[in-house]
Amino acid sequence: MFAVANGPTSSPRAAIGPKTKVTVVLGAQWGDEGKGKLVDILATNADVVCRCQGGNNAGHTVVVGDKHYALHMLPSLSGRDKQPANFCPGRNGVVIHIPQFFEELEKLEAKGIPEWKDRLIISERAHLVFDLHQEADKLKESGKTSLGTTKKGIGPAYASKVLRWLCLLYTAMSEASLMEHHFLYQNLFATPCPPILSVVLTIFFPLQELGNQMQEIGREFGVTTGRRRRCGWLDLVMIKYSHMINGFTALAIAKLDVLDTFEEVKLGVAYRYKGELLSSYPASLEVLSKVEVEYLTLPGWKMSITNCRSFDDLPQNAQVFVKKVEEIVQIPVNWVGVGQARDQMINVY
């Protein structure tokens, strides 16, 4: 599940409206929620699509007809061959590994999107990821405290940024400009490098029941690493905590069709630790690893919903599931995903 946060609108259910200037798509869980697909849909009415943090550790897939776009640095609308909007893969909070960035651009051009040069905007204050950051990431992951990162050097790059050891894109460009008076560097920076609640991280994940079955049905494999994503029932305790921090105005439920074959479906609604009901999401990883989850069990719908295109098309039990999520977290669910394709996203309101 992921969420949308907006500026003021006339209605709490109006996630996008004529007075809305900025729409922010946020992951409400551990990543791999399906944000890229919603960004692709919302981009139709946007002038600019911008990333504000992260790097090429991200992975989002957009399906347009028979074409699959696997993107990492670039925003989802990059796969729109007639979309007039600009896309901004690098704001101040983004970290960029330049060789892999150009490799991704070349792949996009090979798929028939040649005009990216006219649409690309990158902040000169974006920070750079160097090979040494990736090597540091690999060394960290080889130890006993591995988190299961993508080993793209993102964490070490941000550590360098905080310590003020990191090079800005502007700095690199300025130094390159000075060097050109004395040296000729061919293809500078352009050398290519080798190439549900779901997550590829090694974390405490209390709701993993039936995770393997969900993996197979939903084809849950990381776009960047190809590793199996850890799957589990929807954790509404985490959603409410994310909402407290971010102030969501709407939610999107991705891949509801993954639950089509289940006799029963569950929602994680509370945590208990040593028999005591926790009032909020625990800060302690030790506590999180030992919590007992209280579930709300609902009847499944036992039929395919991949051809549903409106909320009323969904079977009654699927509608009840969505409404129950709204009721518990007190946030409207504006979108429901029923498949991988662009048109398999129901706009509820």
* Residue stretches of the annotated binding site for substrate: 223-229
Strands 276-277 and 292-299: unpaired
Q: How far is residue 306's CA from residue 323's CA, in Å, rounded to a whole number?
A: 19
**For residues 90 and 129, is the Cβ–Cβ distance under 8 A?**
no
Enumerate the β-bridge partners of residue 336: 253, 346
Q: How far is residue 331's CA from residue 278's CA, in Å, rounded to a whole number?
A: 21
Q: Report helix, strand or coil for 159.
A: helix
Q: How far is residue 247's CA from residue 4's CA, in Å, rounded to a whole number?
A: 9
Write the single-letter amino acid at 346. Answer: I
Sign of the four-CA dihedral 40, 255, 106, 56: positive
Catalytic residues: 32, 60, 161
- In this structure, what are the phi and psi dihedrals at residue 304, rounded to the nearest 5 degrees? -75, 135
Q: How far is residue 55's CA from residue 64's CA, in Å, rounded to a whole number?
A: 24
Q: How far is residue 147's CA from residue 197's CA, in Å, rounded to a whole number?
A: 17
**For residues 233 and 198, is the Cβ–Cβ distance under 8 A?**
no
- In this structure, what are the phi and psi dihedrals at residue 152, rounded to the nearest 5 degrees? -90, 0
> Residues within the annotated binding site?
31-37, 57-61, 150, 164, 223-229, 255-257, 337-339
> Residues within the annotated binding site for IMP?
32-35, 57-60, 150, 164, 227
Q: How far is residue 323's CA from residue 255's CA, in Å, rounded to a whole number?
A: 16
> Residues within the annotated binding site for Mg(2+)?
32, 59
